[in-house]
Chains A and B, each alone.
Chain A
Amino acid sequence: MAEAMTIERRHPLAGHVFAGTGVALTPAHAAFRTSLRCPSASVPGLSDALGVALPRTPKTSVTEKGRSALWLGPDEWLLIDEKTDPMADLGGIDALHAAVDISHRNTAILVSGPGAADVINAGCPQDLSMEAFGTGACSRTIFGKAEIVLWRVKPSVFRIEVWRSFSDYVFGYLAEAARDGG
């Protein structure tokens, strides 16, 4: 009789770790992620259903009970939740919207420490000063050759959301920049 096969989902950054002077790189835990698009009229209904008020101000995020909504565009948000799936709360909603489960399209890297902004700026052209990109700020942008969503979760902690196939490249670039800068 054939042996039962077990299939294990492997984190795209399994085994990646980096700790340097002033900055540490850590693969983020798995999370539910939803790409949400909707017109302005649907925002109140969707916010109620999701339990998080979808932000309407550019470059801002809102977090309620472990669920975060990141403004990506005037009709586009990225939802991140490590515990419960936002898709489950959108099933019965009448308000016009498009929601796509991208939980496994993205993975994330946490960049932390006093040198975090400098290390990210090695590949990202945005102004990451506290005045321009304070705690809670988020933006789709570019890092080297990869598109990312950058989110400042704490003053010295950034989360980089990146497509999984680019994650090794982004992690390597960050580690290289941290070595050069340290």
Chain B
Amino acid sequence: MLLIHCPYCEEARPEIEFRHAGEAHIARPADIASLTDEEFSRFFFYRDNPKGITFERWRHLHGCARFFNAARDTVTDKFLVTYPAGEAKPDLVEAANENAKGAT
């Protein structure tokens, strides 16, 4: 079973308590009415879908019910770090070091 660390519950919890909620850090345009169709489709429909590190929104649906963000490796399925919604993208090198410290 995959365990996901919830930044609000402050502990790792079973995957089935969570729901994936799409790509993170997508800024809503300030003036959405002025976008061209092309620009709007870029914002609304297109997602990165990288092979490797991706930033995602997750929701601890059957727990604290809050949304948060996560950096996950799509190749290994490993969560590198999770952090509260609204925070900037974290420094992944630092996060990796923190993880390594936590593991020892």
A: which residues have CB within 8 A of B? Answer: 58-59, 72-74, 76, 125-126, 139-142, 147
Output the least CB separation between B84 and chain A (Å): 9
Cross-chain contact A72 with B17 (CB below 8 angstroms): no
Interface check B66, CB cutoff 8 A: yes
Tell me how many residue pairs across A and B have CB atoms closer than 8 Å. Answer: 38
Q: Which of chain B's residues have a CB closer than 8 A to the CB of A139?
A: 9, 63
Cross-chain contact A73 with B17 (CB below 8 angstroms): no
Label chain B's interface by main secondary structure.
Answer: loop
Output the least CB separation between B16 and chain A (Å): 6
Cross-chain contact B65 with A72 (CB below 8 angstroms): yes
Output the least CB separation between B69 and chain A (Å): 15
B: which residues have CB within 8 A of A? Answer: 1, 8-11, 13-14, 16-17, 62-66
Output the least CB separation between B25 and chain A (Å): 21
Output the least CB separation between A38 and chain B (Å): 15
Alpha-carbon gap, A126 to B3, bound state (A) = 10
Alpha-carbon gap, A33 to B91, bound state (A) = 43
Q: Which of chain A's residues have a CB closer than 8 A to the CB of B63?
A: 73, 139-141
Cross-chain contact B17 with A125 (CB below 8 angstroms): yes
**What 4 pairs between A and B have smallest CB-CB spacing?**
A73-B64, A125-B14, A142-B62, A58-B9
Output the least CB separation between B15 and chain A (Å): 8
15 residue pairs A–B, Cβ–Cβ below 8 Å = A58-B9, A72-B64, A73-B63, A73-B64, A73-B65, A73-B66, A74-B8, A76-B64, A125-B16, A125-B17, A126-B13, A139-B9, A140-B64, A142-B16, A142-B62
Q: A125-B1, A125-B16, A126-B14 known; A140 and B62 CB under 8 Å?
A: yes
Cross-chain contact A58 with B66 (CB below 8 angstroms): no
Alpha-carbon gap, A74 to B14, bound state (A) = 19
Alpha-carbon gap, A139 to B8, bound state (A) = 12
Cross-chain contact B9 with A142 (CB below 8 angstroms): no
Alpha-carbon gap, A58 to B14, bound state (A) = 16
Alpha-carbon gap, A66 to B9, bound state (A) = 26
Q: Which of chain A's residues have a CB closer than 8 A to the CB of B13?
A: 126
Alpha-carbon gap, A74 to B17, bound state (A) = 17
Cross-chain contact A76 with B1 (CB below 8 angstroms): no
